[in-house]
Structure 1
Amino acid sequence: MSTPSTVRTIALCFVVALLEGLDLQATGIAAPHLIREFNLSPAALGWAFTAGLVGLLPGALAGGWLADRLGRRRVLIAAVSLFGLFSLLTANSASYTQLLIARLVTGLGMGAALPILIALSSEVASRDSRNMAVSLTYCGVPLGGACAALIGMFAPVGEWRLVFYVGGIAPLLIAGLLMLWLPESRPLVSRPLTLSQSTNVVLGRQQSRSTLLLWCSCFCTLMILYMLLNWLPTLLAGRELSRLDSSFVQVLFNLGGVAGVLVAGRLMDRQRSLLAVAMVYPGMLLALAALGYLKQLHLLYVAGALAGACAVGGQLILYALAPRLYPDDVRATGVGVAVAVGRLGSMSGPLLAGQILAAGAGVGGLLLATSTLLVLAAASVAMVLRQDSRVNEGEPC
């Protein structure tokens, strides 16, 4: 992973992931201001969160497949340009309808970018460092979230548009750098697979069981993660934390996510993937309970960092595992479909949390809902890892 071309590719993928992480959390950061600006109910705010996530689903499906056919580089540049432009349009929304449309199309661009970033970083690294390469790329997402939280912390009161301006201008600048410096990861095949052929490979006899289990874990894990990403600022505001303290918990959530990503990637490269699963999923439940019931501020800081480490670390395990399951000519497609299924969970999470909170179930209701999802996610990914270890020389538990 030390050649100049490899380092440059991973660095560029990291920057794109950072910008995606910033935009993914921008709506959550702006949420308290959006409620006042557009006079939103909790249910309407849930749809504002969900609009961007709805775009992520077809974006991931189309982005992965187009990247396998047209090339990773070309499709990534188009995706980054798209989400930068519509983030700028989000900042200039004059109505709730315009806000929803802008977030929807922003999501299309971000959805297309993520599976390409994962496939690129996995392909350019050596076999014994692929998981760490994906980790280094993906840790840009929580760092971008931390940047969004810092913008929210230090922006002038009421200036909710600033985070969207940053999330719009920077991707357009980075798209130019991608044109100059990003190489194609592999030569294009002369006769690329059709969508039907790609689907048959992804769901073929050898991959079907692992694919379905991976999808199950992606759905449940991202459902929980996006409950946290979107509702954490509002929940913390309800705990009567100051704006500064609430923003700091979000910063720690994202910095914890960076640590969780790097630790999980290191454990996977050292053939300890099941240990990573055993640490991440119980830790997620513990952190959620702590955020819901602890009252001491310093303990809330610790709980926020732990929640980020476990939730984002769990997502990294899935994204590092996905490229290992598929051959080169459908790798981005396979990763894209897994990401898309996860996006279904990410769309469902904020809506489910909104309904639970609107019904008055509070944090206890959220914990009850997430505990079942955590068990299902952990069991599914553990079964995929066991099957993958038998195929790839055996991996210790």
Structure 2
Amino acid sequence: MIRKNALEIVGSAPLGKFHYGLLFWCSLIMLFDGYDLVIYGSVVPRLMEQWSIPPVQAGWMGSAALFGMMFGAVVIGPLADRVGRRKIILGAIVFASTSALVNAFAWDVPSFTVLRFLTGVGLGGAIPNIVALMSDLSPTTRRSTLTTIMLSFYSIGAMISALVAMLIIPKFGWEATFLIGGLPLLCLPWMYRYLPESMPYLLAKDKAAASVLLKRIVPSVDSAAVSFETPVTTSSSPPLSRLFTEGRAVGTVFLWLGFGMCLLMVYGLNTWLPKIMVAGGYPLGSSLMFLVTLNIGATAGALGGGWLADRWGCKPTLILFFALAVVSLCTLGIKPGPVLLNVMLLIAGATTIGTLAVIHAFAAQQYPSEIRSTAVSWCSAIGRFGGVAGPALGGLMLSMNLPLQLNFICCAIPGLIAIIAIAMVRSRARRLNQTATQPAHS
């Protein structure tokens, strides 16, 4: 009797209760990632006033969490390929949520900056691993859709942060917004119980646990007819070096550049859009609502991007989205009327912040499972250089008192660079995607 490999069964499994549960917990983590990172853009006007902070210093404060994410992605994220994704995710969430909670008690610029950095460290370890976990356990034909649905919750968290700031800061001060960042700690008992481990990891480390997990994914499966053999890897090289071997070097470098430009736009806009609009003559209340509109568009873009990516492919979808981002941002600079303004904000959110979901899915599909956490972690970490530059360059840009149109043109330039970078990930990407799913057919 020919026995089907467990990974093949996972890849061809119909969507079920297991997948929706996995999507729920990973999406919840992503929601608080969006909240914790974007809340700074909502509180920074109050902090600048209360602590007399100049724009450039405020920009570097905003970059502290992104430096932390870069550190966490490089140091913590890749450990999951050795100790398991589940342990790293749970530990990182405890660290990030505790740091966010304590941030409410920061008393000056240095204490605030350190706590933002520590929050970023935890998030940097968690996010690449929930992306890798979702890619490991999703049905092959729904992988992009499920991954981008999960990542779209970044934008929902960002939107919630702006609404919370509008409601809470006038009554309770900016400190209260960070108390909400500690709420994931209350969910830990349920996360510990229901969050699964990666199937490829269990096949290598614990075949009995792999059998139990397979039953959760496909309750009707006959374990006696399943092969739980560990997929044979073609290389004994360390995971990091494999990002540059087997024909991956060019794609890896340009993926890093694409990530960097995407994150530069994401964090630049989420940190400074309210202040840019205030500088352009809009009142602060309206400017915070613009941030909400931007992230409504981002949510729609992430969901629509996943749907398109599963039909057209991630690469054409990314190029289309970055092109629309350039057009919409340049249009915002001409200070259009209310209807066109909000339409352009929706499109800008969909094709900058929303694109972040698609590019994560694209990266996860370029590499085989045994190096996927390392690959996505390094894409995320190197991309954080762009993320760090977003708030910092935004602060510098505002300090120069540029015209509104020139501010938005500067915001659009990274989109042009990203188009070139993604276009340079050539047809090799299709072969790498087949490599990433090959264990399911072995």
Number of residue pairs matched by the alignment: 392
**Residue of structure 1 equivalent to 2:217:** none
**Residue of structure 2 equivalent to 1:266:** 307
1:126 aligns to 2:154 (yes or no): no
How many Å apart are 1:246 and its aligned residue? 1.9
**Partner deviation per Cα, 1:131-168 (whole Å, 9 max, x = no partner):** 00101110110000011011012225162122211112
Aligned in 2, Cα 1:63/1:5: closer, same or farther, shift over 3 Å?
farther
- Runs of 5+ unmatched residues, structure 2: 1-13, 207-229, 435-442
1:352 aligns to 2:393 (yes or no): yes
Partner Cα distance (2:313, 2:368) in 1: 23
How many Å apart are 1:289 and its aligned residue? 2.2
1:48 aligns to 2:61 (yes or no): yes
SS at match of 1:21: helix
Partner Cα distance (2:284, 2:258) in 1: 34
CA contact 2:261–2:418 (8 Å) conserved in 1: yes
Residue identity in the other structure for 1:175: L
**Partner deviation per Cα, 1:257-306 (whole Å, 9 max, x = no partner):** 01101111111111343442343112112222233331533333222211
Aligned in 2, Cα 1:218/1:17: closer, same or farther, shift over 3 Å?
same
1:285-324 alignment runs, 5 A limit: 285-324=326-365
How many Å apart are 1:386 and its aligned residue? 3.4
Partner Cα distance (1:47, 1:162) in 2: 22
CA contact 2:159–2:292 (8 Å) conserved in 1: yes
Between stretches 1-10 and 113-122, larger displacement belongs to: 1-10
2:184 maps to which of 158, 171, 192: 171
How many Å apart are 1:70 and its aligned residue? 1.1
Residue identity in the other structure for 2:416: V
**Residue of structure 2 equivalent to 1:197:** 238
Partner Cα distance (1:259, 1:371) in 2: 20
1:235 maps to which of 276, 288, 299: 276
Residue identity in the other structure for 1:350: P
**Residue of structure 1 equivalent to 2:110:** 97
1:54-93 alignment runs, 5 A limit: 54-93=67-106
Aligned in 2, Cα 1:386/1:315: closer, same or farther, shift over 3 Å?
farther
1:152 maps to which of 165, 168, 174: 165
Residue identity in the other structure for 1:326: Y
Residue identity in the other structure for 1:206: G
Aligned in 2, Cα 1:88/1:109: closer, same or farther, shift over 3 Å?
same
How many Å apart are 1:369 and its aligned residue? 3.5
How many Å apart are 1:387 and its aligned residue? 2.8
Partner Cα distance (1:91, 1:270) in 2: 44
Residue identity in the other structure for 1:93: A
SS at match of 1:384: coil
Residue identity in the other structure for 2:140: R
How many Å apart are 1:308 and its aligned residue? 0.6
Q: Percent identity?
A: 27
CA contact 1:253–1:305 (8 Å) conserved in 2: yes
How many Å apart are 1:390 and its aligned residue? 5.3
SS at match of 1:270: helix
Partner Cα distance (2:128, 2:432) in 1: 23
CA contact 1:63–1:116 (8 Å) conserved in 2: no
**Partner deviation per Cα, 1:41-88 (whole Å, 9 max, x = no partner):** 001111110111110101111232111111111110111111111111
Partner Cα distance (2:396, 2:433) in 1: 43
**Residue of structure 1 equivalent to 2:254:** 213
Residue identity in the other structure for 1:269: D
1:162 maps to which of 169, 172, 176: 176
**Partner deviation per Cα, 1:190-246 (whole Å, 9 max, x = no partner):** 5999x9711111221321111111111111111122110110121122234334322
**Partner deviation per Cα, 1:119-140 (whole Å, 9 max, x = no partner):** 1111111111100010111011
How many Å apart are 1:176 and its aligned residue? 2.6
**Residue of structure 1 equivalent to 2:125:** 112
1:9 aligns to 2:9 (yes or no): no
**Residue of structure 1 equivalent to 2:31:** 18
CA contact 2:333–2:407 (8 Å) conserved in 1: no
**Residue of structure 2 equivalent to 1:276:** 317
Partner Cα distance (2:58, 2:169) in 1: 22
The root-mean-square deviation of aligned C-alpha atoms, in Å, is: 2.3
Partner Cα distance (2:243, 2:142) in 1: 24
CA contact 2:85–2:197 (8 Å) conserved in 1: yes
SS at match of 2:360: helix
1:34 aligns to 2:34 (yes or no): no
Residue identity in the other structure for 1:162: A
Partner Cα distance (1:213, 1:239) in 2: 35
CA contact 2:99–2:115 (8 Å) conserved in 1: yes
